[in-house]
Amino acid sequence: MRALLRCRASEFEHGSPFLDGFRTIVTTCRAVVLPHFGGPEVLQLRSDVDVPNLKPDEVLVRARAVSINPLDTRMRSGYGSSIFEPLLPVILGRDISGEVAAVGSSVRSVSVGEEVFGALHPTAVRGTYADYAILSADELSAKPGSFTHVEASAIPFAALTAWRALKSTARIKEGQRVLVIGGGGAVGYAAVQISVASGCHVATTCGSQSIDKLLAAGAEQAVDYTTEGIEFTLKGKFDAVLDTIGVPDTERIGIHLLNRGGHYMTLQGEAASLTDRYGLVLGLPIATSILLQKQLQYRCSHGIEYWWTYMRADSEGLDEIRRLCEAGKLKIPVEKTFPITQVREAHEAKDKNTIPGKVVLELD
């Protein structure tokens, strides 16, 4: 889609980037750019980053809030370098909440001026740390009406990651037992709430500071992994295990606690680390071979299904996540906000874990 009116983002600092019903595309805007891998100090807030023309299925979103995910800080430090290094500089960020500024010619699901939230795929190069972000229509949904932009921006990436594992892969259903290893983080907390909303019996592991929060969210058992032996404290077997920690010990415990026919899903698949180590040509086949070997091994030895799980766009899933938010069944608390101009300080706080909870960047 070509711009009907070309302009700089700064010209619309106090208003919407469309006039008299015309759909427009800004040509440049502020964005946080990653020119090379490193610590928070490498992040650059630039005022004149290009905004590409929209493809037919794309949406231009005026960002109001974007949350910081662990993937952002890991990417900044070099995770996924085999994919992203040839593409530098890139823009970080996956989550977004804001208003639709323009739509591609084939988009019908959202309209200009509508408040939306959503998340980009993990491999997206032009992220959401920008005044204007571009997402495909199936990566967006109407923002939960009762949520602020800050609250809404904390939801999509974490909730969709949990949704894919639990609803798309394990296909959990009412009455089943679900174990979330690492329920204190955003993905784990979302997983507990999604499982409870699905009518499942949920147990989780976490640090002592998260126990009350997880029990209040509907978990029937929350085990402090720092003081209790997980496999001796958890009661019974489970139909699905989502492991957000993904170290050898939690994998062993999770698989041991599964019923035959159950699903073990880990967020810590080896595809990215192996492609970083060996390159795409060798790394991806090695990762695929390791995954297939593990799947065959655990299917034969334990009768269970083994998966590496990642976030992906799911328009139906995002719509259901929105409905859960509006029904008061899903929320991820935001611990602190920073203006986008303080993105380095925000990343530093996450690196040092001085703010363990969710951090959101606000854009004026």
pLDDT of 201 above 60: yes
Residues 47 and 115 in one domain: yes
pLDDT of 272 above 70: yes
- Domain assignment present for 318: no
Residues 351 and 296 in one domain: no
Q: Averaged over 77-88, what is the pLDDT? A: 90
> Mean pLDDT in the chain?
90
Q: How confident is the model at residue 312 (pLDDT cuts 50, 70, 90)?
A: confident
Residues 240 and 268 in one domain: yes
Residues 298 and 169 in one domain: yes
pLDDT value of residue 164 = 95
Task: Name the domain boundary from 308, 325, 341.
Answer: 308
Q: CB 311: neighbour CB atoms within 10 A?
A: 24
- Domain assignment present for 322: no
Evaluate if pTM is beyond 0.95: no
pLDDT value of residue 327 = 97
- Domain assignment present for 23: no
pLDDT of 25 above 90: no
Q: How confident is the model at residue 278 (pLDDT cuts 50, 70, 90)?
A: low
pLDDT of 175 above 80: yes
- Domain assignment present for 231: yes
Residues 303 and 180 in one domain: yes
- Domain assignment present for 137: yes
The closest alpha carbon to 85, from 39, 50, 37, belongs to: 37
pLDDT value of residue 221 = 96
Q: Are residues 253 and 181 in contact, defined by beta-carbon separation less than 8 angstroms?
A: yes
Q: How confident is the model at residue 364 (pLDDT cuts 50, 70, 90)?
A: confident
How far apart are alpha carbons 17 and 149 in whole angstroms?
18
- Residue whose tokens read 């106090």: 14
Which range among 63-77, 245-259, 276-290 shows the weakest confidence by mean pLDDT?
Answer: 276-290
Q: How confident is the model at residue 347 (pLDDT cuts 50, 70, 90)?
A: very high
What's 223's domain CATH number? 3.40.50.720
- Domain assignment present for 20: no
pLDDT of 230 above 90: no
Q: How many residues does the chain have?
A: 364
DSSP 8-class letter at 261: E
Q: Averaged over 6-17, what is the pLDDT? A: 38
Q: CB 79: neighbour CB atoms within 10 A?
A: 18
Residues 120 and 211 in one domain: no
Residues 67 and 124 in one domain: yes
Q: Are residues 40 and 118 in contact, defined by beta-carbon separation less than 8 angstroms?
A: no
Residues 289 and 196 in one domain: yes
Residues 6+ apart with CB under 8 A from 296: none
- Domain assignment present for 241: yes
Residues 134 and 169 in one domain: no
Which range among 69-83, 243-257, 272-286 shows the weakest confidence by mean pLDDT?
Answer: 272-286
Task: Give the structural domain span for 214.
Answer: 158-308
What's 54's domain CATH number? 3.90.180.10
Residues 186 and 122 in one domain: no
pLDDT value of residue 235 = 83
Q: Which two tokens stand for residue 165?
A: 């594992």
Q: What percent of the chain has pLDDT over 90?
A: 77
Q: What percent of the chain has pLDDT over 70?
A: 93
What total number of domains does the chain contain? 2
Residues 164 and 242 in one domain: yes
Residues 84 and 222 in one domain: no
Which range among 81-90, 182-191, 237-246 shows the weakest confidence by mean pLDDT?
Answer: 81-90
Question: Cβ-count burial of 154 within 10 angstroms (0-12 exposed, 13-18 middle, 19+ buried)?
Answer: buried
3-state helix, strand, coil in the chain (%, to 5): 35, 25, 35
- Domain assignment present for 317: no
Q: Averaged over 1-13, what is the pLDDT? A: 36
